[in-house]
Amino acid sequence: MPELSRDEVRHLADLARIDLSDAELDHLAPQLNVILEAVASIQGVAGDDVAATSHPIPMTNVFREDVIRPSLTPAQALAMAPATEDDKFSVPRILGEE
């Protein structure tokens, strides 16, 4: 079982937009490795004859008919938004200057 490096944990934190200090990284990186070890023990049990499962219930083809159902009103949709303008969600600047 390969160890998760401190840099990898920093990368994952960046991807998840979690700002971790060096001290937090030192603290959390080893903990993630413990969790991975626990999960790895499952791999010891699962043989090649067991397919990886992404859903707990073995079923397929759950579809809905292509029928329109009522939507929310813009007021309902925007009710919890921190900021709105012209019935749109207002979000902070996405990119800085070029």
Using CB under 8 A, list all residues that contact another protein: 11, 14-15, 17, 54-55, 57, 59-74, 77-78, 85-98
Least spacing, CB of residue 32 vs another protein, in Å: 15
Tell me whether residue 38 or residue 64 sits nearer to another protein (CB atom): 64
C-beta of residue 13 within 8 angstroms of C-beta of residue 20: yes
Measure the CA–CA gap between 68 and 79, rounded to whole angstroms. Answer: 23
**Rounded least distance, CB 26 to another protein, Å:** 23
Q: Which is nearer to another protein, 23 or 67 (CB)?
A: 67
Q: Would you put residue 87 in left (φ > 0), alpha (ψ -120 to 50) or beta?
A: left
Nearer to another protein, 45 or 57 (CB): 57
Please name the residues in contact with 89: beta carbons below 8 A apart, sequence gap of 6 or more: 78, 81, 83
